[in-house]
Amino acid sequence: AQKITQTQPGMFVQEKEAVTLDCTYDTSDQSYGLFWYKQPSSGEMIFLIYQGSYDEQNATEGRYSLNFQKARKSANLVISASQLGDSAMYFCAMTLPQAGTALIFGKGTTLSVSS
């Protein structure tokens, strides 16, 4: 079974600073996908970034980058140049490539960005 662990219930950062949100995972499968989602107070799930287990390079999407350390089973999200609009809940998630496999989520981290 897959498991996602996010150990930071809340993080605080000032505008324009970078912040790292931690995520570790556990699986015995060799092929898997790791995701980060942002959930603002409206409740919608916003896809941020994806990392495949066989991807050799860390994924980047604009201000988001994923620090993938396979041996440590960690997939930390780095947000550079934080903005007030980044304040939200962030979830790390994992799934397997087999059809019909759901995303399994971590407990989430609430990020608060201040001016």
Partner 1 sequence: GAVVSQHPSWVICKSGTSVKIECRSLDFQATTMFWYRQFPKQSLMLMATSNEGSKATYEQGVEKDKFLINHASLTLSTLTVTSAHPEDSSFYICSARGSSGRVRGEQYFGPGTRLTVT
Q: Which residues bind partner 1 (CB under 8 A)?
A: 32-33, 35, 43-45, 47, 50, 52, 89, 91, 95-108, 110
Nearest distance in Å: CB 16, partner 1 = 27
Q: State which residue, 20 or 101, has the beta carbon closest to partner 1.
A: 101
Q: Which is nearer to partner 1, 42 or 115 (CB)?
A: 42
- Distance (Å, rounded) from C-alpha 17 to C-alpha 94? 27
CB of 108 to partner 1, least distance (A): 5
Distance in Å, CB of 28 to partner 1, minimum: 17
DSSP class of 72: T
What is the 8-class DSSP label of residue 76? E
114 CB-contact burial (10 Å; exposed 0-12 / middle 13-18 / buried 19+): exposed
Between 16 and 107, CB nearer to partner 1: 107
Which of 101, 94, 89 has the alpha carbon at shortest distance from 74? 94
